[in-house]
Structure 1
Amino acid sequence: MNKNLIFLIAFALIIITISELIGFQAIPLGSFTIGLLPLVFAIILTMFLGLKLFRKGIMKKIYSEKNIHFASTYLILIMLPLMARYGADVAPQIRDILQVGWIFIIQELGNLGTVFIGLPVALLLGLRREAIGATLGIGREGELAYISEKYTLESKEGRGVLSIYIIGTLFGAIFFSVFAPILLDLGIRIEALAMASGVGSGSMMSAASATLVARIPEMESTILAYASASQLLTSFLGTFTMVFLAAPIQAFMYKKLVRGDKK
């Protein structure tokens, strides 16, 4: 039995309470306004307190190897209620969503951007086989599963996707919560941004859509419905896009861009 689990649960409740007390914060930067959600503060606090400098005494028990393994293993249990809410958000707006359904499908082609843009950049930065794992997608569960099955996580490709997965977990929500309102200030329609929020990551979608809702609360139902529908569609179609489009195109591009590479 994990004796330190109770410390982790108590710590999580304390961090949640502190983050909620801080609340949503809008930071004006010139003509832009950056919105920071409680989720962002929770991530920053846990990252900061997880530094080796602070991992002493009770903090060492909280950040024990068993607790870290437990948190990563059972994260899906926390995400399931969120998935259920996605469905509930979509239902009232289903008629409007179906009217623009083809847009949701076309946006899936945007997933290929990590291959067309990310792969050449990664190669220019000096990556080789690691670039295959790092640029297949945004490095969430789907890409992680595909790469681990095909190459294993101990391979160079596995290290690439795992690195992006970790970076996305740590900074993805922060980036999306900051970037979404900036695009809104640039004049992009709220419906388009809501659709773009559903990238296949629950935390990133929540961060982006919640920030948009905080900026335009009167459109909350539309924002959450479009974001949730996009998220669900990405989770479903994204796998097929990755396997049948992204992976073959990436393999072809890698072969052309990297001559004489040996696995």
Structure 2
Amino acid sequence: MVKNFVYFVLFVLAVIAAAELIGIQSFTIGSMTISMLPLVFAIAIAMILALPFLRKGILKKIYSKKNVDFASKYLIFIMLPLMARYGSDVAPQIREILQVGWVFIIQEIGNLGTVLFGLPIAILIGLRREAIGATLGLGREGELAYISEKYTLESPEGRGVISLYVIGTLFGTMFFSIFAPILLDFGIRVEALAMASGVGSGSMMSAASATLVARVPEMENTILAYASASQLLTSFIGTFTMVFLAAPLQQVVYKFLVRGDKK
């Protein structure tokens, strides 16, 4: 057991080292320049090595259910240093942030978008109770905790939120790394994009803000401060928005769309 865990830790360090050696890679599509972060390459490497036909020998031990469950369970502790980093980024720009503080508050209304737009689409493609877990939010730690407490993770709602959590972890970072610079090329202000980076996911926020910094390095402090402040507010206020606004609204919309479901 200890030997397998050591292999697991060494594998993680090797993937991180390989991703850092690749570094930030940029490529141009038309007038748009897209930057890919080391985090994206780390996810891609881990995904490729997890393919069934490659998962043999040591890799089979590394990707054992016990190791995967361990990584998932203690992910929140790994994110704590990142949360401390958010605070250090916010403090130097606190005056500037307070001047536009109301914008950050209004931004939280965007958390209802997954219910208003995502839930009808989920129902349309055939999901039922799974849609409740999948569309309560972005399926990060807050939604995972709420759904697991209310329905348990073995329920259809639990399967929905777990599925979204996995998809967000695998593809969310890649999407944000690409989408943020594309919107920048469409003329959207970098401050607005930095605010929009804080969606409640540390990895997605880091990916979006880092690609913006790569494109506009002279505004690095402002970008990181706005993104970090938005992330902190989303993590805090977003919890109340989810519990008191998103969840009740979701139940109303779900019952309207799926009349036959009596649960």
Asked if the contact 1:2–1:66 (Cα under 8 Å) also holds between the matched residues in 2, the reply is: no
**Secondary structure class of the residue paired with 2:153:** coil
Q: Which runs of 5+ in 1 are unaligned?
A: none
Letter in 1 for 2:32: F
Question: Counterparts of 1:77 and 1:250 in 2: how far apart (Å)?
Answer: 30
Give the deviation of 1:77 after TM superposition.
2.2
CA drift of 1:6 comes to 1.1
Query: Sequence identity, in percent?
Result: 76
Residue 237 of structure 1: aligned partner: 237
Residue 3 (structure 1) aligns with: 3
- 2:225 alignment counterpart: 225
Q: Distance in 1 between matches of 2:51 and 2:117?
A: 33
- Once the two structures are superposed, the pairs formed by residues 67-106 of structure 1 within 5 Å of their partners are 67-106=67-106
Q: CA deviation at 1:262?
A: 3.2
**Distance in 2 between residues matched to 1:262 and 1:48, nearest whole Å:** 42
After TM superposition, list the pairs within 5 Å mapping 1:1-263 onto structure 2: 1-263=1-263
Aligned residues: 263
Counterpart Cα distance in 2 of 1:149 and 1:67: 24
Q: Distance in 2 between matches of 1:93 and 1:64?
A: 44
Q: Which amino acid aligns with 1:195?
A: M
Matched position secondary structure for 1:88: helix
How far is the alpha carbon of 1:157 from its aligned partner?
1.0
Unaligned runs of 5+ in 2: none
Q: Which amino acid aligns with 2:10?
A: A
Displacement of 1:239: 0.6
State the Cα deviation string for residues 219-252 of structure 1 (Å, max 9, x = none).
1111000000000000000010001111111111
Range 5-14 or range 233-242, more displaced: 5-14
SS in 1 for 2:33: strand
Q: TM-score, normalised by structure 2?
A: 0.98
Contact 1:115-1:137 within 8 A present in 2 as well: yes
**Equivalents in 2 of 1:117, 1:129: separation in Å?**
16
1:174-210 Cα deviation digits (max 9, x unpaired) = 1100111101111110000000000000111011111
SS in 2 for 1:34: strand
